[in-house]
């Protein structure tokens, strides 16, 4: 029963984190059409990331490792190991690259024109990073659901 409760929480956290992330592109595309709303939108994305998505991702790690120990699945199980490696890469890219890029976008949107070369470069970098993080997240989700053999 404990395993099922943790699994339910794990799935709820994944839905919440990924769901929040999926909205970023929609909000940013809408704000790009009305640049006066861009600083507000970027700050909204930052709040969603800082207060909802990122805490959920950290709790996903906790609940995922808890399930691995309860089940038990060795952390070296191929699908789990690949997922953990991608999770660490996402964590590092997110905190060390995406978050500073988003902060820079906010600063530039508030101090310069969103049409400035500097802002456009930061926005492009944020979009590329967001896509990379999304692809890695989708691979992790695939691994968690399908649990492919990969290698034996």
Of 151 and 89, the structure prediction assigns the larger pLDDT to 89
Identify which of 142, 145, 136, 144 has the alpha carbon closest to the alpha carbon of residue 21: 136
What's the rounded Cα separation, in Å, for the pair 35 and 38? 5
pLDDT band at 93 (very low <50, low <70, confident <90, very high): very high
What's the rounded Cα separation, in Å, for the pair 32 and 17? 24
pLDDT tens by residue, 51-81: 999 999 999 999 999 999 999 999 999 999 9
- How confident is the model over 35-54, as a mean pLDDT? 96
User: Domain boundaries in the chain?
Assistant: 2-146
What's the rounded Cα separation, in Å, for the pair 39 and 108? 9
pLDDT band at 145 (very low <50, low <70, confident <90, very high): very high
101, 122 contact by CB (below 8 A)? yes
91, 54 contact by CB (below 8 A)? no
Query: pLDDT at position 113, please?
Result: 83
pLDDT band at 146 (very low <50, low <70, confident <90, very high): very high
User: What is the residue-averaged pLDDT of the chain?
Assistant: 95
Angle formed by the axes of helices 99-111 and 38-48, nearest 10°:
160
């Amino acid at each position: 029963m404990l395993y099922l409760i943790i699994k339910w929480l794990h799935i709820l956290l994944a839905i919440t984190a990924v769901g929040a992330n999926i909205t970023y592109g929609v909000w940013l595309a809408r704000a790009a059409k009305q640049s006066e709303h861009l600083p507000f939108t970027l700050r909204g994305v930052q709040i969603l990331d800082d207060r909802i998505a990122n805490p959920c991702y950290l709790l996903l790690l906790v609940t995922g490792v808890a399930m691995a120990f309860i089940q038990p699945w060795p952390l070296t199980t191929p699908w789990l190991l690949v997922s953990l490696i991608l999770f660490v890469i996402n964590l590092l890219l997110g905190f060390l690259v995406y978050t500073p890029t988003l902060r820079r976008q906010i600063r530039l949107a508030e101090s310069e024109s969103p049409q400035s070369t500097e802002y456009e470069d930061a926005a492009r970098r944020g979009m590329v990073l967001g896509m990379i993080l999304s692809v890695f997240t989708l691979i992790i989700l695939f691994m968690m659901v399908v649990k492919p053999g990969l290698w034996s």
